[in-house]
Structure 1
């Protein structure tokens, strides 16, 4: 009945399944080399049928042109959802659309730009805390920075440092458990018997209680608040005029914490590595910062095709934190010569799309100037996804990354100790290690 793309042979199935646990990008890419830009993974060992692809036309078909026939797979909606609730990242269907319409206006460019000074203050505070006469974990620094930024832009001064640490630790532990469940689902019975599942669900409950306390406290206070929480509290559904329930509000806040900090932290770490290994680009960035003079942090210079922006975009091309995107077919479907049945999971490897030599010259080289080309929009470039579920935090992420790079290279030098970038593909693509020394070169800037 169906004409699936070329299939991974039974001889190679074990190798593929094992490597999907340990080095998924390598084995998916290798199968593309052997089977073409779209292939099928199916076996008695795998209950679901998977179609892997790096075809940008199929990507556009599934995520945009025929998006009504696809939704996120159970990996996110159920496995991750049981820990994080039904926020924008894990929700699907009509409930997701209802929430998206309610929340998206809160992330308009105008609203995000009101958070400018909060971001600047947090960047200054975190970097200054890391100036030591010893090598530090730079990835830990970027992770702390973006976590603090999302905490302060969400809650303003309604959250203290101890609460931030509790939430951060809980999210880290929950993500580790989620990866175990996804990569080794055959151990699910053991996770239940050993108490691991119960322990992590309790962590989720404790995190929810922290947010509940903050929200209840805010609801009893008077005054003006310039943060995302206040905007969410004041948001109303179009059809009923009602606000979100407490549980839905907590779900959305958890998702904003999870999705709003780790991807940016990873992107900043990768960008620092690329800049420090490309002296010419580093000098061009520093020249731009100096030429802007007192306007180097002003909103009017942040966006557009600046050197800072092209560096970030090229970094996101080479190391997209959202390295893979999946969708499950809600009904049988046909694409060109291929067809597949309802329930088929289609996985798109953005990492390979961004490095495909068919579309990109010198695909593995760091060349920010490529984003100045007029034909750049014709290239397969999707660091924030595509279609209806395009990330609403794109403007937020660009703003915090641009502010960080400009503040950092205005005031500091970096002595990088890590010589080779090694990555690990978990929920997001992250560096295995990034170590170096930060040295203050300019007086404190506010």
Structure 2
């Protein structure tokens, strides 16, 4: 690397390669240790990327994701590799393609658009939790993931989908995440794909999923009935420059990423929220009082419920790390680095840094409320949905869904911890391995 660049202090190539074994085994423990060693920002080496910068520095993260976002694109690993399965959706494209697609899709996720879906979401939530398993040792993670998937299916399509189709879709998304996580953390596996047939099998499975969605779209286009769901909003959207709608290929890509990204992230967060709330008597009691004074429909507008959700996402952000690649040479706070440098923004570390948060490891929803008891709009160092123009387009929908679920579950059930502490499993998203709680009806 040319001496004209001034990377942050960090690890040598050999140190990075040795550390990669720890990174694969326990990414959060390894990265958190490096953050402490190098005061929040360090440079290292990755075989497929060269010299990289890893940071939990809020100013640098804000610079990359927001202030100078035009100089940073989604990483190749997050685009070409994943797009093989999920297509050219909003999440994976860059530049003009991204801007054009974002302008088309954004209106469907404005408050006015998702407000129309509230009744569907509440009906789905109430119907599901009426059959919630009871007992002293209930793993709520698969339940919350299944519930979130049902909410998305009903909000997207508003059709009676068979249990078999739902189950097949759900298994496909779980399988895809497991495959991609291994592919990212263990890239050497790729040389074995021609022998194991693993990638070929996955592609075949996803071709079948696309066929399902293609059939749903065809049935909808032949149906003259007016529908109130996200599919209708997406099908009715028009590009501002041509007045045309999305092609079938593009529409399927967007549906796939909404299902893939939406249900896994929300299901994980809901599981963490139930555990954290049940683990803190003071928070639990205040939430019970809040729910007693708030009907379910107003839950997304309740400050304390939102504070609990915010605090849960601070401690366990689903998107726990991001990667951006510099398009041109850049500099920040005395550091200089060339075009092509990957910046890994360690959101989990920033959210738990004692430099940004008092008593950072504690679950304290009050930190998100101002002196009047309403959500503080000026909270800094907090990016659970990303930041800048590429912030998650479905953040309002996700927040509303989680508020509905938290209200409904705690309204009908007593939940308590069992002494089992969930283990964070940092795949593409930060999911729990299992969340064991006691659940009984009130």
Question: CA contact under 8 A between 2:169 and 2:209: conserved in structure 1?
Answer: yes
Question: CA contact under 8 A between 2:75 and 2:324: conserved in structure 1?
Answer: yes
**What is the aligned partner in structure 1 of residue 125 from structure 2?**
123
CA distance in 2, matches of 1:380, 1:405: 25
Q: Does 1:319 pair with 2:316?
A: yes
**What is the aligned partner in structure 1 of residue 396 from structure 2?**
395
Q: Secondary structure in 1 aligned to 2:293?
A: helix
Is the alpha carbon distance of 1:76 and 1:255 closer, same or farther for their aligned partners in structure 2, counting shifts above 3 Å? same
CA distance in 1, matches of 2:256, 2:109: 16
Aligned partner (choices 182, 202, 205) of residue 203 of structure 1: 205
Question: CA contact under 8 A between 1:8 and 1:31: conserved in structure 2?
Answer: no
Q: Does 1:329 pair with 2:326?
A: yes
Is the alpha carbon distance of 1:289 and 1:132 closer, same or farther for their aligned partners in structure 2, counting shifts above 3 Å? closer
**What is the aligned partner in structure 1 of residue 417 from structure 2?**
416
Q: Secondary structure in 2 aligned to 1:42?
A: strand
Shift, 1:376, TM fit: 6.7
CA distance in 1, matches of 2:129, 2:136: 14
Q: Which moved more, 1:370-379 or 1:72-81?
A: 370-379
Question: CA contact under 8 A between 2:17 and 2:45: conserved in structure 1?
Answer: no
**What is the aligned partner in structure 2 of residue 371 from structure 1?**
368
CA distance in 2, matches of 1:170, 1:419: 29
Question: CA contact under 8 A between 1:137 and 1:436: conserved in structure 2?
Answer: yes
**What is the aligned partner in structure 1 of residue 149 from structure 2?**
147
Q: Does 1:341 pair with 2:373?
A: no
Aligned residue pair count: 435
Q: Does 1:25 pair with 2:23?
A: no
Q: TM-score, normalised by structure 1?
A: 0.94
CA distance in 1, matches of 2:312, 2:241: 41
Shift, 1:180, TM fit: 1.7
Cα deviation code 1:191-238 (max 9, x no counterpart)? 122211100111111111110010001110111111000111111110
Question: CA contact under 8 A between 2:297 and 2:404: conserved in structure 1?
Answer: no
Shift, 1:134, TM fit: 6.4
Shift, 1:418, TM fit: 4.9
Q: Which runs of 5+ in 1 are unaligned?
A: 442-446
**What is the aligned partner in structure 2 of residue 7 from structure 1?**
10
Question: CA contact under 8 A between 1:328 and 1:346: conserved in structure 2?
Answer: yes
Q: Give 1:96-107 correspondences, 5 Å limit.
A: 96-107=98-109
Q: Secondary structure in 1 aligned to 2:153?
A: helix
**What is the aligned partner in structure 1 of residue 114 from structure 2?**
112
CA distance in 1, matches of 2:121, 2:398: 11
CA distance in 1, matches of 2:419, 2:224: 49
Q: Which moved more, 1:7-16 or 1:237-246?
A: 7-16
Q: Does 1:303 pair with 2:301?
A: yes
**What is the aligned partner in structure 2 of residue 444 from structure 1?**
none
Cα deviation code 1:307-339 (max 9, x no counterpart)? 111111111111111101110011111112101
Aligned partner (choices 208, 221, 224) of residue 222 of structure 1: 224
Q: Secondary structure in 2 aligned to 1:135?
A: strand
Cα deviation code 1:62-110 (max 9, x no counterpart)? 1111111101101210111111111111222211111100000000101
CA distance in 1, matches of 2:239, 2:49: 39
**What is the aligned partner in structure 2 of residue 53 from structure 1?**
55
**What is the aligned partner in structure 1 of residue 406 from structure 2?**
405
CA distance in 2, matches of 1:217, 1:297: 33
Q: Secondary structure in 1 aligned to 2:420?
A: coil
Q: Which moved more, 1:11-20 or 1:86-95?
A: 11-20
Q: Secondary structure in 2 aligned to 1:377?
A: coil
Question: CA contact under 8 A between 1:86 and 1:251: conserved in structure 2?
Answer: yes
CA distance in 2, matches of 1:366, 1:165: 34
Cα deviation code 1:9-55 (max 9, x no counterpart)? 35632442112211111111111111222111126x45422100011
Q: Which runs of 5+ in 2 are unaligned?
A: none
Q: Does 1:41 pair with 2:38?
A: no
**What is the aligned partner in structure 1 of residue 427 from structure 2?**
426
CA distance in 1, matches of 2:49, 2:406: 45
Q: Which moved more, 1:100-109 or 1:184-193?
A: 184-193
Aligned partner (choices 80, 83, 92) of residue 82 of structure 2: 80
